[in-house]
Amino acid sequence: DAGYRYAYLMLQRGEVEGGLPIISKILKQMEDNKDFTSSQKSALLMLMAYFQQELNQTDEAKKTFAKVYDAMIECDGGVNKGDLNMAITCSSLFHAFCDMGDYDEASKWLRRMTEEFHVYEQNGDSLLIEEYRAHVALDSAKLFQATGRAAEAAAVFDAIPRSRFFNPSTYNKAADYLMSAGRYGECADFYEKIDDTFMNKDSLRHSFDIISWYLSPRYLANRKAGRTAEALQIADDMSAAIDSAIEWQKKNDMISRSE
Protein backbone atom coordinates (compact mmCIF):
# COMPACT_ATOMS: atom_id res chain seq x y z
CA ASP A 1 0.00 0.00 0.00
CA ALA A 2 2.81 2.39 0.87
CA GLY A 3 4.64 1.55 -2.34
CA TYR A 4 1.53 2.18 -4.42
CA ARG A 5 0.86 5.52 -2.73
CA TYR A 6 4.47 6.62 -3.13
CA ALA A 7 4.52 5.65 -6.81
CA TYR A 8 1.21 7.45 -7.38
CA LEU A 9 2.68 10.58 -5.78
CA MET A 10 5.66 10.32 -8.12
CA LEU A 11 3.31 10.09 -11.10
CA GLN A 12 1.48 13.22 -9.93
CA ARG A 13 4.83 15.01 -9.61
CA GLY A 14 5.95 13.88 -13.06
CA GLU A 15 8.77 11.66 -11.75
CA VAL A 16 7.83 8.81 -14.06
CA GLU A 17 11.28 7.29 -14.43
CA GLY A 18 11.51 6.66 -10.69
CA GLY A 19 7.99 5.41 -10.17
CA LEU A 20 7.91 2.62 -12.75
CA PRO A 21 10.57 0.43 -11.00
CA ILE A 22 8.62 0.68 -7.73
CA ILE A 23 5.42 -0.63 -9.31
CA SER A 24 7.37 -3.33 -11.17
CA LYS A 25 8.89 -4.52 -7.88
CA ILE A 26 5.51 -4.67 -6.13
CA LEU A 27 3.97 -6.62 -9.01
CA LYS A 28 6.85 -9.10 -8.87
CA GLN A 29 6.23 -9.59 -5.14
CA MET A 30 2.57 -10.14 -5.93
CA GLU A 31 3.30 -13.19 -8.05
CA ASP A 32 4.23 -15.25 -4.98
CA ASN A 33 1.86 -13.65 -2.46
CA LYS A 34 -1.72 -14.90 -2.36
CA ASP A 35 -2.73 -12.10 0.02
CA PHE A 36 -2.93 -9.68 -2.91
CA THR A 37 -6.40 -9.35 -4.42
CA SER A 38 -7.27 -9.02 -8.09
CA SER A 39 -8.54 -5.52 -7.33
CA GLN A 40 -5.14 -4.51 -5.91
CA LYS A 41 -3.43 -6.05 -8.92
CA SER A 42 -5.69 -4.10 -11.25
CA ALA A 43 -4.88 -0.81 -9.49
CA LEU A 44 -1.14 -1.51 -9.68
CA LEU A 45 -1.34 -2.44 -13.36
CA MET A 46 -3.32 0.70 -14.13
CA LEU A 47 -0.65 2.81 -12.47
CA MET A 48 2.10 0.97 -14.35
CA ALA A 49 0.30 1.60 -17.65
CA TYR A 50 0.05 5.31 -16.88
CA PHE A 51 3.80 5.41 -16.20
CA GLN A 52 4.49 3.61 -19.49
CA GLN A 53 2.16 6.00 -21.30
CA GLU A 54 3.97 9.02 -19.85
CA LEU A 55 7.31 7.49 -20.92
CA ASN A 56 5.95 7.03 -24.47
CA GLN A 57 6.22 3.25 -24.12
CA THR A 58 3.02 2.95 -26.10
CA ASP A 59 3.14 -0.76 -26.97
CA GLU A 60 3.95 -1.74 -23.40
CA ALA A 61 1.20 0.54 -22.08
CA LYS A 62 -1.41 -1.02 -24.36
CA LYS A 63 -0.49 -4.52 -23.18
CA THR A 64 -0.63 -3.45 -19.54
CA PHE A 65 -4.00 -1.75 -19.96
CA ALA A 66 -5.37 -5.04 -21.33
CA LYS A 67 -4.09 -6.82 -18.19
CA VAL A 68 -5.95 -4.25 -16.06
CA TYR A 69 -9.24 -5.42 -17.51
CA ASP A 70 -8.36 -9.10 -17.06
CA ALA A 71 -7.58 -8.49 -13.38
CA MET A 72 -10.86 -6.59 -12.88
CA ILE A 73 -12.83 -9.43 -14.48
CA GLU A 74 -11.54 -11.77 -11.75
CA CYS A 75 -13.01 -9.67 -8.94
CA ASP A 76 -15.85 -7.61 -10.42
CA GLY A 77 -16.66 -9.22 -13.73
CA GLY A 78 -18.87 -12.04 -14.88
CA VAL A 79 -21.71 -12.45 -17.32
CA ASN A 80 -24.11 -9.52 -16.98
CA LYS A 81 -22.84 -8.65 -13.52
CA GLY A 82 -22.77 -4.98 -14.35
CA ASP A 83 -20.48 -3.82 -11.55
CA LEU A 84 -19.98 -0.05 -11.70
CA ASN A 85 -16.24 -0.52 -11.07
CA MET A 86 -16.05 -2.43 -14.35
CA ALA A 87 -17.73 0.44 -16.17
CA ILE A 88 -15.34 2.93 -14.58
CA THR A 89 -12.34 0.78 -15.52
CA CYS A 90 -13.53 0.54 -19.12
CA SER A 91 -13.99 4.32 -19.20
CA SER A 92 -10.42 4.82 -17.95
CA LEU A 93 -9.14 2.50 -20.66
CA PHE A 94 -11.24 4.32 -23.24
CA HIS A 95 -9.65 7.67 -22.35
CA ALA A 96 -6.16 6.18 -22.28
CA PHE A 97 -6.48 4.80 -25.81
CA CYS A 98 -8.05 8.05 -27.01
CA ASP A 99 -5.04 9.92 -25.65
CA MET A 100 -2.77 7.53 -27.56
CA GLY A 101 -4.76 8.11 -30.76
CA ASP A 102 -5.87 4.48 -31.02
CA TYR A 103 -9.54 5.13 -31.70
CA ASP A 104 -10.38 1.58 -32.79
CA GLU A 105 -9.26 0.24 -29.43
CA ALA A 106 -10.92 3.17 -27.64
CA SER A 107 -14.19 2.32 -29.38
CA LYS A 108 -13.97 -1.25 -28.05
CA TRP A 109 -13.63 -0.04 -24.46
CA LEU A 110 -16.46 2.43 -24.88
CA ARG A 111 -18.72 -0.42 -26.00
CA ARG A 112 -17.71 -2.51 -23.00
CA MET A 113 -18.27 0.42 -20.67
CA THR A 114 -21.74 0.94 -22.14
CA GLU A 115 -22.61 -2.75 -21.81
CA GLU A 116 -21.50 -2.90 -18.18
CA PHE A 117 -23.33 0.30 -17.33
CA HIS A 118 -26.60 -0.78 -18.98
CA VAL A 119 -26.65 -3.79 -16.66
CA TYR A 120 -25.82 -1.60 -13.65
CA GLU A 121 -28.72 0.68 -14.57
CA GLN A 122 -31.20 -2.08 -13.73
CA ASN A 123 -30.36 -2.17 -10.00
CA GLY A 124 -27.85 0.58 -9.26
CA ASP A 125 -27.92 3.73 -7.18
CA SER A 126 -30.19 6.30 -8.83
CA LEU A 127 -27.83 9.25 -8.35
CA LEU A 128 -24.86 7.34 -9.74
CA ILE A 129 -27.00 6.18 -12.65
CA GLU A 130 -27.78 9.79 -13.55
CA GLU A 131 -24.11 10.76 -13.29
CA TYR A 132 -22.82 7.88 -15.38
CA ARG A 133 -25.46 8.29 -18.04
CA ALA A 134 -23.75 11.63 -18.60
CA HIS A 135 -20.32 9.96 -18.62
CA VAL A 136 -21.35 7.41 -21.24
CA ALA A 137 -22.79 10.14 -23.47
CA LEU A 138 -19.80 12.46 -22.98
CA ASP A 139 -17.37 9.67 -23.83
CA SER A 140 -19.38 8.91 -26.96
CA ALA A 141 -19.29 12.57 -27.98
CA LYS A 142 -15.53 12.63 -27.38
CA LEU A 143 -14.99 9.66 -29.70
CA PHE A 144 -17.29 11.02 -32.41
CA GLN A 145 -15.49 14.37 -32.33
CA ALA A 146 -12.03 12.77 -32.37
CA THR A 147 -12.91 10.63 -35.40
CA GLY A 148 -14.32 13.47 -37.51
CA ARG A 149 -18.02 12.88 -36.84
CA ALA A 150 -18.67 16.34 -35.44
CA ALA A 151 -22.40 16.43 -36.20
CA GLU A 152 -23.00 13.16 -34.37
CA ALA A 153 -20.87 14.36 -31.45
CA ALA A 154 -22.91 17.56 -31.18
CA ALA A 155 -26.19 15.64 -31.33
CA VAL A 156 -25.11 13.33 -28.50
CA PHE A 157 -23.84 16.18 -26.34
CA ASP A 158 -26.85 18.43 -26.88
CA ALA A 159 -29.23 15.59 -25.98
CA ILE A 160 -27.76 15.21 -22.47
CA PRO A 161 -30.15 16.66 -19.87
CA ARG A 162 -28.37 19.47 -18.04
CA SER A 163 -29.52 17.94 -14.76
CA ARG A 164 -26.84 15.28 -15.29
CA PHE A 165 -24.05 17.84 -15.10
CA PHE A 166 -23.56 18.30 -11.39
CA ASN A 167 -19.96 17.57 -10.35
CA PRO A 168 -16.39 18.46 -11.38
CA SER A 169 -15.91 15.23 -13.31
CA THR A 170 -18.83 15.83 -15.66
CA TYR A 171 -17.99 19.53 -15.91
CA ASN A 172 -14.44 18.72 -17.00
CA LYS A 173 -15.57 16.12 -19.52
CA ALA A 174 -18.11 18.56 -20.96
CA ALA A 175 -15.50 21.30 -21.18
CA ASP A 176 -13.07 18.90 -22.86
CA TYR A 177 -15.60 18.06 -25.58
CA LEU A 178 -16.69 21.68 -26.07
CA MET A 179 -13.08 22.84 -26.43
CA SER A 180 -12.40 20.22 -29.12
CA ALA A 181 -15.63 21.21 -30.88
CA GLY A 182 -14.70 24.91 -30.91
CA ARG A 183 -17.65 25.86 -28.72
CA TYR A 184 -15.50 28.12 -26.57
CA GLY A 185 -18.16 30.18 -24.83
CA GLU A 186 -19.96 27.09 -23.55
CA CYS A 187 -16.61 25.57 -22.62
CA ALA A 188 -15.71 28.63 -20.54
CA ASP A 189 -19.09 28.42 -18.82
CA PHE A 190 -18.37 24.87 -17.68
CA TYR A 191 -14.94 25.84 -16.39
CA GLU A 192 -16.62 28.61 -14.43
CA LYS A 193 -18.98 26.06 -12.86
CA ILE A 194 -15.98 24.25 -11.42
CA ASP A 195 -15.29 27.32 -9.30
CA ASP A 196 -18.52 26.60 -7.43
CA THR A 197 -17.29 23.13 -6.40
CA PHE A 198 -14.68 21.82 -4.01
CA MET A 199 -12.13 21.86 -6.86
CA ASN A 200 -11.55 25.57 -6.36
CA LYS A 201 -10.88 25.23 -2.63
CA ASP A 202 -9.46 21.72 -2.49
CA SER A 203 -5.90 22.95 -2.01
CA LEU A 204 -4.23 26.27 -1.37
CA ARG A 205 -1.18 24.98 -3.20
CA HIS A 206 -1.20 25.58 -6.94
CA SER A 207 0.78 22.81 -8.59
CA PHE A 208 1.94 22.87 -12.19
CA ASP A 209 -0.59 20.10 -12.88
CA ILE A 210 -3.44 22.36 -11.73
CA ILE A 211 -2.14 25.12 -13.99
CA SER A 212 -1.91 22.73 -16.93
CA TRP A 213 -5.18 20.85 -16.40
CA TYR A 214 -7.44 23.66 -15.22
CA LEU A 215 -6.19 27.22 -15.51
CA SER A 216 -4.60 27.02 -18.96
CA PRO A 217 -7.60 25.52 -20.80
CA ARG A 218 -9.92 27.87 -18.93
CA TYR A 219 -7.84 30.84 -20.09
CA LEU A 220 -7.83 29.54 -23.67
CA ALA A 221 -11.60 28.98 -23.71
CA ASN A 222 -12.31 32.51 -22.50
CA ARG A 223 -9.81 34.07 -24.90
CA LYS A 224 -11.19 32.21 -27.92
CA ALA A 225 -14.73 33.08 -26.83
CA GLY A 226 -13.79 36.76 -26.94
CA ARG A 227 -14.16 37.21 -23.19
CA THR A 228 -11.09 39.41 -22.86
CA ALA A 229 -11.63 40.65 -19.31
CA GLU A 230 -12.17 37.12 -17.98
CA ALA A 231 -9.14 35.83 -19.88
CA LEU A 232 -6.93 38.58 -18.47
CA GLN A 233 -8.08 37.80 -14.93
CA ILE A 234 -7.28 34.11 -15.43
CA ALA A 235 -3.88 35.08 -16.87
CA ASP A 236 -3.20 37.00 -13.65
CA ASP A 237 -4.29 33.96 -11.65
CA MET A 238 -1.95 31.77 -13.70
CA SER A 239 0.96 34.09 -13.00
CA ALA A 240 0.29 33.94 -9.27
CA ALA A 241 -0.20 30.18 -9.46
CA ILE A 242 3.15 29.72 -11.19
CA ASP A 243 4.87 31.67 -8.41
CA SER A 244 3.07 29.52 -5.84
CA ALA A 245 4.03 26.30 -7.61
CA ILE A 246 7.68 27.35 -7.88
CA GLU A 247 7.78 28.21 -4.18
CA TRP A 248 6.20 24.88 -3.27
CA GLN A 249 8.68 23.04 -5.49
CA LYS A 250 11.63 24.78 -3.81
CA LYS A 251 10.39 23.80 -0.36
CA ASN A 252 9.73 20.25 -1.49
CA ASP A 253 13.21 19.95 -3.00
CA MET A 254 14.76 21.18 0.27
CA ILE A 255 12.84 18.54 2.20
CA SER A 256 13.92 15.85 -0.26
CA ARG A 257 17.58 16.84 0.05
CA SER A 258 17.41 16.86 3.85
CA GLU A 259 16.09 13.31 3.83
For the stretch 125-134, pLDDT in tens is 888 999 999 9
Angle between helices 150-158 and 168-180 (to 10 degrees): 150
Confidence category of residue 227, pLDDT binned at 50, 70, 90: confident
pLDDT over threshold 60, residue 203: no
Q: Nearest to residue 110, comparing CAs of 77, 132, 130, 78?
A: 132
What is the per-residue pLDDT for 202?
45
Question: What is the mean predicted confidence (pLDDT) over 180-188?
Answer: 94
Per-residue burial over 188-213, b if 16 or more Cβ lie within 10 Å, else e, is: bbbbbbbeeeebeeeeeebbeebbee
CA distance linking residue 120 with residue 87, whole number of Å: 9
Rounded to the nearest angstrom, the gap between the alpha carbon of residue 243 and the centroid of all alpha carbons in its chain is: 26
Is the pLDDT at 101 greater than 90? The verdict is yes
Percent of the chain with pLDDT over 70: 81
pLDDT of residue 153: 98
Task: Report pLDDT digits (tens) over 43-93.
Answer: 889 999 999 998 999 999 999 998 998 888 877 655 546 678 888 999 999
